[in-house]
Amino acid sequence: MAQATFVQDGNSVDYTPGSAVAAGAVVVQNSLVGIARTPIAANALGSLATVGLFDVVKVTGAINAGAAIYWDADGDPLGGDAGTGAATTTSGGNTFMGFTVKAAAEADTTVRLLLLKPVTVSNTIHLDLTNVVADPGNAGAIPITDSGTVQLVTAGAETRTLAAPTDVGQVLSLCFKTKVGNCVVTCATGVNQTGNNTLTFDTAGEVIVLAAIAVGADKRWRVVANDGVGLTTA
């Protein structure tokens, strides 16, 4: 007996909704995201696209080309009805959709993405430094699931924390974009052989690039390049 029998290429899947589905609606079934190309009546057999290029409503904010995109079923689409669902780069609590093929500006209401079948995307360390990693604000923890650039902005004397990296090869660029007060970042690991773990940004334009390495069983940050950031040990 054959272990598997080919059915179709899987670029679309059958779908029978309990209530009517409009053309262009995003439908999430567990980890599978599909988009209705045409309207589907309630309790009628239709189909959902699982692969293809789509312009999808998005949350407020710029999104770079190549970014991993997730569907937030309760998201607020820019220019649309709050809570009706939107594409976002935030992975937590949301469902993976695919990757952007074109950058979207902050004021754009949609983002163009390549819809893909489910894949395991636990982080985006494969992205380069053009990926925007959000500045968490005063006393916040800098996200460590992505590679990318954090543009630090202060409204006074502020702090940040940086946990140990999640994957070897991960790269973070910390840039002091706007200064009202100094920004002090305390790392969970030393960032050099000296063991310095405190980064002090005191002049706008300072930047430090950190890469994740393995030291025995531990993962640690190491300075790749530094322009003006003070390094001390707490």
194-234 pLDDT, tens digit per residue, is 999 999 999 999 999 999 999 998 999 999 999 999 999 98
pLDDT band at 26 (very low <50, low <70, confident <90, very high): very high
pLDDT of 117 reads: 78
Q: According to the model, what pLDDT value does residue 8 have?
A: 83
Percent helix, percent strand, percent coil in the chain, to nearest 5: 0, 45, 55
| Cα separations in angstroms, 72 against 88, 96, 164, 183, 185 | 7, 9, 28, 32, 31
**134 in Cβ contact with 116 (< 8 Å):** no
Over residues 108-127, the mean pLDDT reads: 74
| Confidence at 92, pLDDT banded by 50, 70, 90 | confident
* In the predicted structure, residue 124 carries a pLDDT above the cut 70: no
Please write the tens of the pLDDT for every residue from 153-201.
Answer: 999 999 999 999 988 888 999 999 999 999 999 999 999 999 999 999 9
Predicted confidence band at 9 (pLDDT cuts at 50, 70, 90)?
Answer: confident
Residue with tokens 């006074």: 156
Q: Report percent pLDDT > 90 for the chain.
A: 75
* Measured distance CA(122)–CA(141) in Å, rounded: 18
- The HSE-up count of residue 33 (CA atoms within 13 Å, CB side) is 27
The whole-angstrom separation of Cα 98 and Cα 211 is 26
Residue of higher predicted confidence among 42 and 144: 42
- pLDDT of the residue at 1: 73
Rounded Cα distance between 77 and 74, Å, is 9
- Read off the pLDDT band of 119 (50, 70, 90): low
d(CA 158, CA 139): 7
More confident residue, 5 or 220: 220
The long-range contacts involving 200-204, CB below 8 angstroms and separated by at least 24 positions, are 200/229, 200/230, 200/231, 200/232, 201/152, 201/174, 201/176, 201/229, 201/230, 202/230, 203/176, 203/179, 203/228, 204/176, 204/177, 204/178, 204/179
Domains of the chain by range and CATH? 12-115 (no CATH), 132-232 (2.60.120.640)
Nearest Cα neighbor of 76 from 94, 57, 63, 59 is 59
